[in-house]
Chains A and B, each alone.
Chain A
């Protein structure tokens, strides 16, 4: 080794060492893309923060509250329907492959896709094609049973600023005497909560927030958070893991329907919150099994780049999945007021009822915004075994937001926070202060926590619907085991409201659980 080399050696070693360290510490993390990854299924116990008041008023019934992501989205959206694809159901006798190829050629489409729990296809067409026109064009074909755009649905509630004595809704329904007859059903009855997911398990999940976003057009832009680890906990008042059966997430395409919104957890609480345990509030059918099926994307799902949104086809998949997995009651506190008919959802609801599941559908909250009924409820008046549910407030008068429509068949407590600040339906869900960090100023924006819970008053036909679903579960346990008979029983014993007989505000009236469960004697 020359002297010159000896002099250079320390420097070379230093550079080599530095490179080695750099190559270790500077290693780029594996890009997980939009996928979410479970880091650990262990988590700290859930935090119960008691009764909370919510600071911000949002209106999830209004489509503009959906986040507008400034970045690449696998399926861009415009209006209330996804662009770039439509739903097509070819007639059974038709060669689907051939008809699909022909349709693609006509629409300039790229591929045809058949997903699980479907009997229809997704036709991928150019993003520039008007999806409503394309669907109308397809619907005219003789080999097509129906075709429709992939309309986006949303949860039907209105969270607002804000235990059993606060549950005026249970008192109004005379639930204590109803539970004397049928104490909360049993684990033999499965109720599918098809919604934004349910806080059904604990664990820490890693998400990737890759793009800046803004909540409202013209609003502040929130930064991308990069990879974030989010703690999840099961809602303490919904019970242990064995409370849930066959969970499914059609937004993320896996079996982890984690609620990142709070709506589904609140709805599940009204259906089956643990009751008579000395904690929190009560649920209608507190012993049933809950099947969490996620078909609606919350803001965080969009922010983290979930591969699917709550389109009609995703909702229909969820309904068919629930029916195929032995759900006896399906709660649909979701829907849309804009866009055309939803034959794909109508067919799924008919399929579910045909499989023996009772379906409860929210009527919609747009009474003061054009009184546009939930399009997903249009199927129910012609289908015995599915009902569309409007909402009453604490005074048992129709809630200001609850739509009036020929589709309304029954009414139930959904709350009216305009009339009374404690007039909502109270249930446990996430502590929204810690979950909805995107409602803070940009400087305070950060990753959410989904392991902290509180009791919130929500209002909406979303909140009314699970009362009906819960009663359906109780009736199923009591012995009325067919969806059409459940509907008939509910209507027979409903308490008439408004003008005598059926009307568009209350349907045939407010559900009367105690009378319905008690049924008929010989002479009385």
Chain B
């Protein structure tokens, strides 16, 4: 996570404090969304060596509930990253691709609480949030013996900020940035141990199409 990212995330709650909610007394809003995005993993060297890229497409969806407490909302979302690669051998100077097909799948579930700043505009609503993340990590490869493939779930946390654009009363388009940390999920073996990368998290930019209020 870069300093610039941290500053951006930190500024969002400040903005929230400066702009108190004016929507108190509203009812519960429920919306569902579909999401497409791009995730860049913190363990960049590990992902680059095995799947050839430290970034990849993220597809998912979820539900958000706007509570009758100003801009407070809660949500739960799931997504999935999947990439094909090859097992490798790495030295300090080179990565040797061994041609053994490998598939890496990361399936995050994010439970988020946040605040929407509805008073800025009726159509453009910024929001910030944070919460608990659970990432399922699956790694399968050809020639694996029992116990050599991985299917494990790891927990961490995330911070996010974004903007909703209300196209119609029931339809919205939004963009958000999410930073996640999933500590100690990697780094005990494999290429991640060589690169001493332990965090399965990363940062993602997401575009969300939502239906609902």
Q: Is the pair A520, B91 in contact by a Cβ cutoff of 8 Å?
A: no
Q: Does A479 contact B (CB under 8 A)?
A: yes
Given A518-B100, A519-B100, A524-B148: A485 touches B190 (CB 8 Å cut-off): no
Q: How far is the CA of A475 from the CA of B87 in the complex (A)?
A: 13
Given A478-B99, A481-B96, A519-B98: A489 touches B139 (CB 8 Å cut-off): no
User: What chain A residues lie within 8 Å of B190 (beta carbons)?
Assistant: 520-524
Given A521-B191, A523-B189, A524-B148: A482 touches B102 (CB 8 Å cut-off): no
Q: Is the pair A520, B194 in contact by a Cβ cutoff of 8 Å?
A: yes
Q: How far is the CA of A518 from the CA of B88 in the complex (A)?
A: 8
Q: How far is the CA of A488 from the CA of B194 in the complex (A)?
A: 13
Smallest Cβ distance from A226 to chain B, in angstroms? 57
Q: Does B122 contact A (CB under 8 A)?
A: no
Q: Does A484 contact B (CB under 8 A)?
A: yes
Q: Does A181 contact B (CB under 8 A)?
A: yes
User: What chain B residues lie within 8 Å of A522 (beta carbons)?
Assistant: 43, 46-47, 49-51, 85, 102, 104, 139, 186, 190-192
Query: What are the interface flags for B84-107 relative to A under an 8 Å C-beta threshold, 1 for contact and 0 otherwise?
Result: 010111110010111110101000
Q: How far is the CA of A519 from the CA of B143 in the complex (A)?
A: 11
Given A522-B50, A523-B150, A524-B190: A517 touches B98 (CB 8 Å cut-off): yes
Q: Does A180 contact B (CB under 8 A)?
A: yes
Q: Does A480 contact B (CB under 8 A)?
A: yes
Q: Is the pair A520, B139 in contact by a Cβ cutoff of 8 Å?
A: no
Closest-by-CB residue of B relative to A493 is B89
Instruction: Indicate which residue in B96, B97, B99, B141 contacts A521 across the interface (CB closer than 8 Å).
Output: B141
Q: Does B137 contact A (CB under 8 A)?
A: yes
Q: Is the pair B139, A523 in contact by a Cβ cutoff of 8 Å?
A: yes
Q: How far is the CA of A488 from the CA of B43 in the complex (A)?
A: 23
Given A181-B100, A478-B98, A479-B97: A521 touches B87 (CB 8 Å cut-off): yes
Q: How far is the CA of A177 from the CA of B143 in the complex (A)?
A: 8
User: What chain A residues lie within 8 Å of B43 (beta carbons)?
Assistant: 522
User: What chain B residues lie within 8 Å of A489 (beta carbons)?
Assistant: 89
Smallest Cβ distance from A93 to chain B, in angstroms? 32
- Please report whether the interface of chain B is mostly helix, strand, loop or mixed according to DSSP: mixed
User: What chain A residues lie within 8 Å of B192 (beta carbons)?
Assistant: 522-523
Smallest Cβ distance from B12 to chain A, in angstroms? 32
Q: Is the pair A485, B94 in contact by a Cβ cutoff of 8 Å?
A: yes
Smallest Cβ distance from B137 to chain A, in angstroms? 7
Q: How far is the CA of A478 from the CA of B143 in the complex (A)?
A: 14
Q: How far is the CA of A480 from the CA of B50 in the complex (A)?
A: 15
Closest-by-CB residue of B relative to A522 is B50
Q: Is the pair B91, A518 in contact by a Cβ cutoff of 8 Å?
A: no
Given A181-B100, A481-B96: A519 touches B88 (CB 8 Å cut-off): yes
Size class of the A contact interface (CB-based, 8 Å): 20 to 34
Query: What are the interface flags for B132-171 relative to A under an 8 Å C-beta threshold, 1 for contact and 0 otherwise?
Result: 0000010101010100101000000000000000000000
Q: Is the pair B143, A181 in contact by a Cβ cutoff of 8 Å?
A: yes
User: What chain A residues lie within 8 Å of B189 (beta carbons)?
Assistant: 520, 523-524
User: What chain B residues lie within 8 Å of A524 (beta carbons)?
Assistant: 139, 148, 150, 189-190
Instruction: Indicate which residue in A177, A480, A488, A492 contacts B98 across the interface (CB closer than 8 Å).
Output: A480
Q: How far is the CA of A492 from the CA of B100 in the complex (A)?
A: 18
Q: Is the pair A479, B91 in contact by a Cβ cutoff of 8 Å?
A: no
User: What chain B residues lie within 8 Å of A480 (beta carbons)?
Assistant: 89, 96, 98
Q: Is the pair B98, A521 in contact by a Cβ cutoff of 8 Å?
A: no
User: What chain A residues lie within 8 Å of B145 (beta carbons)?
Assistant: 177
Smallest Cβ distance from A75 to chain B, in angstroms? 45
Q: Is the pair B141, A479 in contact by a Cβ cutoff of 8 Å?
A: no
User: What chain A residues lie within 8 Å of B100 (beta carbons)?
Assistant: 181, 518-519
Closest-by-CB residue of A relative to B194 is A520
User: What chain A residues lie within 8 Å of B102 (beta carbons)?
Assistant: 521-522
List A478-523 residues whose CB lies under 8 Å from chain B: 478-482, 484-485, 488-489, 492, 517-523
Instruction: Indicate which residue in A180, A181, A519, A523 contacts B89 across the interface (CB closer than 8 Å).
Output: A519
* Partner-A contacts on B (CB < 8 A): 43, 46-47, 49-51, 85, 87-91, 94, 96-100, 102, 104, 137, 139, 141, 143, 145, 148, 150, 185-186, 188-192, 194
Interface pairs A-B: 6 shortest CB-CB: A522-B50, A519-B89, A519-B98, A519-B87, A523-B190, A480-B96
* Partner-B contacts on A (CB < 8 A): 177, 180-181, 478-482, 484-485, 488-489, 492, 517-524
Please, could you name 15 A-B residue pairs with CB atoms under 8 Å apart, sorted by A? A479-B97, A480-B98, A485-B94, A485-B96, A518-B100, A519-B87, A520-B194, A521-B50, A521-B150, A522-B43, A522-B50, A523-B137, A523-B150, A523-B189, A523-B190
